[in-house]
Amino acid sequence: KAEDLRVFSSHSLDESIKALEELRNPVILIFCAGSPKHTTSFANKLVSTTALHRYPIVFVGNEISRHERLLESCIPVFTVLDQPCEPKEILSLLFDTMAATQGDIEETPDEAIEEDLGINKKPTSHDRTKTQVTYVRPKTLIREISFQPLTFSDRLIEQVKELRYEYPTLGGDAFVRGVRIEELHDLNILPQDSNASGKIQDMIFAAGEWGKEHLVRVASVNEKMIKNLHVSDEVGESAKKASFLYSESLIKDYELMRKDYTAYGRGDLRAVLGKKVQETSDKISNEISDDKACEIIRDIGRIMEGQECSDTQEGLLASSIVMSDLVDRACWGKGMWSPLRAYSLLKRIKRGDLKNIHPEALSRGLLLVTEAVNSDAALLLLPKIPGLYRDKLKEIRDCLKMPTSEQETTKHITELQPGMTIACPILAFDGTVLLPSGYTLDHDLIMRLWQLTAVKPLLLPKVIVVQHEMTEEEARKSFAQEFTSSAIAVMKYE
């Protein structure tokens, strides 16, 4: 009961440790609202404070999610709640965490007791507002807890889970490399209606270089997104027309065509864009005899303006086109793939900023960007140092100086070999030291470094090393270490 709870507030970890010893089954709530630099410092301090590692922790803050892998290595149970969030969401998560971690977490009740308690029962669509976690073991994250009632993010995650089984891929690996205008006729995205098809090709010819590729990318992505919506051929034909023709009045306006209108502070741009698209619907209705396509375009304008999508088939198709357009604006707005903008879009989707778009279309957009980012490790590399870390530039430049002796040489990360010694620290894109200088590389360390750079991109892909030849005995010993560590990893996995 809430009245039986004891609450202790502190701004110091040392004070919190003393208070935790007096509480029964405590749960720690930490607000991480500082800058990225302070959050990183706090996360490292939390990892070194072993006295807190046996307690479940609830974090509230956006930046702390960047350190989930670090925290997972030492804290048995924790969860992260992004801001902005309502106080009732924080309270609900706290109570669910307390309920999940009370009792004996080392033992699992037998199947009969679990059946009586309903622990193994999988929630149906009518039962998803109930807490789904009752027993949590160490080294696991509380991911399945749902609030009362389900939040928008929970519904979106459910959509993505279902979509993964229903639709294996959305072609993110092809989207991230762009689409050439020469492929227009091979993509099967033009409508069968010769009148509408001719108008679309004239519109593409009149658009600029980026505009042509944008129109083709949006239509090709939308064609994949609506492929399994179980719509009739007639409705699919109308959607093909709408995926091109909604942009007719935008192709000669740089801001309306390319800018991400959902970004903060662009409400005026959003209003003008939505109005323009709705006017396009009225104009096109006199040129093509397809009322459904005009209705879809009208819904596109409403959604772009910020209104809720209509709960109709046209509203769903309009949301699909809006999502295709938005993903392309965000990720290809500068004429080349932007990892930073892709991550920013994923963050906004997760935060619920685009909740006026139909969840089914939104989940497909989320899946598309995720597939694109994960399709190639090189796509994770950031093109420049984020502005948040400019205070570390001098330190980074000093660490990445040119070789200072004849023994030192510069090697690409993929060219590292056993026996090389790191001459300068290997740094991630944010200035974090991944490997200090002085270490002599072996097979195992090189493999671990490659795996780490897949999730923590390097500032520069080249490393300064001191190279010397390994003896036959050293090479044999290095191989034995690699084989032993791999065998242990397999045993742990099994």
pLDDT of the chain, 494 residues: tens digit per residue: 444 556 666 666 667 777 776 666 777 777 776 666 777 777 777 777 777 777 778 777 766 766 666 776 677 666 777 666 666 667 777 776 766 655 433 333 333 333 333 333 333 333 333 323 333 332 232 333 333 334 455 555 565 555 554 555 677 767 766 766 666 666 678 888 888 888 888 888 888 778 888 888 888 888 888 776 777 778 888 888 888 888 888 887 877 888 888 877 778 888 888 888 888 888 887 778 788 888 899 999 899 888 888 888 888 899 999 999 999 888 888 777 777 788 788 878 877 788 888 888 888 888 888 777 766 655 555 444 444 445 555 555 555 556 666 777 888 777 888 888 888 888 776 667 788 888 888 877 887 787 676 666 676 667 777 766 555 565 555 544 444 443 333 333 33
Query: Comparing C-alpha atoms, which of 453, 452, 445 is closest to residue 481?
Result: 445
Claim to verify: residue 441 and residue 349 sit in the same structural domain: no
Q: What angle do CA 315, 320, 324 make, to 5 degrees?
A: 145
Residue 357 CB coordination number (10 Å): 25
Residues present in the chain in total: 494
Claim to verify: residue 366 and residue 465 sit in the same structural domain: no
Tokens of 30: 């930490």
Claim to verify: residue 418 and residue 339 sit in the same structural domain: no
Claim to verify: residue 226 and residue 331 sit in the same structural domain: yes
**376 located within any domain:** yes
**158 located within any domain:** no
Q: What angle do CA 319, 149, 154 make, to 5 degrees?
A: 45
**215 located within any domain:** yes
**pLDDT score at 392:** 57
**pLDDT score at 321:** 92
Claim to verify: residue 276 and residue 127 sit in the same structural domain: no
Domain boundary among 149, 179, 194: 149
The pTM of this model reads 0.49
**281 located within any domain:** yes
Phi, psi at 235, each rounded to 5°: -70, -40
Claim to verify: residue 201 and residue 318 sit in the same structural domain: yes
Q: Residues 222, 245: contact at Cβ < 8 Å?
A: no
DSSP 124: -
**154 located within any domain:** no
Question: Which residues fall within 8 angstroms of residue 383, CB to CB, at 6 or more apart?
Answer: 338, 339, 340
Claim to verify: residue 168 and residue 245 sit in the same structural domain: yes
Work out how many domains the chain is built from and give that number: 3
Claim to verify: residue 142 and residue 203 sit in the same structural domain: no
Tokens of 273: 């864009």
Claim to verify: residue 316 and residue 296 sit in the same structural domain: yes
Would strands 421-422 and 462-466 be described as parallel, antiparallel, or unpaired? Answer: antiparallel
Angstrom distance (rounded) from CA 451 to CA 428: 13
Claim to verify: residue 244 and residue 369 sit in the same structural domain: yes
Domain span at residue 460?
387-493
Phi, psi at 422, each rounded to 5°: -70, 120
Question: Which residues fall within 8 angstroms of residue 422, CB to CB, at 6 or more apart?
Answer: 435, 436, 437, 438, 439, 440, 441, 463, 464, 465
**pLDDT score at 26:** 76
Claim to verify: residue 176 and residue 282 sit in the same structural domain: yes
Phi, psi at 218, each rounded to 5°: -60, -45
Q: What angle do CA 17, 20, 23 make, to 5 degrees?
A: 165
* Helical residues (DSSP H) of 384-442, grouped into ranges: 393-399
**180 located within any domain:** yes
**156 located within any domain:** no
Claim to verify: residue 350 and residue 469 sit in the same structural domain: no
In Å, how far are 24, 162, 482 from 487, measured between CA atoms?
A: 41, 35, 9
Domain boundary among 94, 114, 149: 149
Angstrom distance (rounded) from CA 348 to CA 73: 27
**178 located within any domain:** yes
Tokens of 488: 């242990």
Domain boundary among 333, 355, 380: 380
**pLDDT score at 137:** 30
Tokens of 149: 């009632």
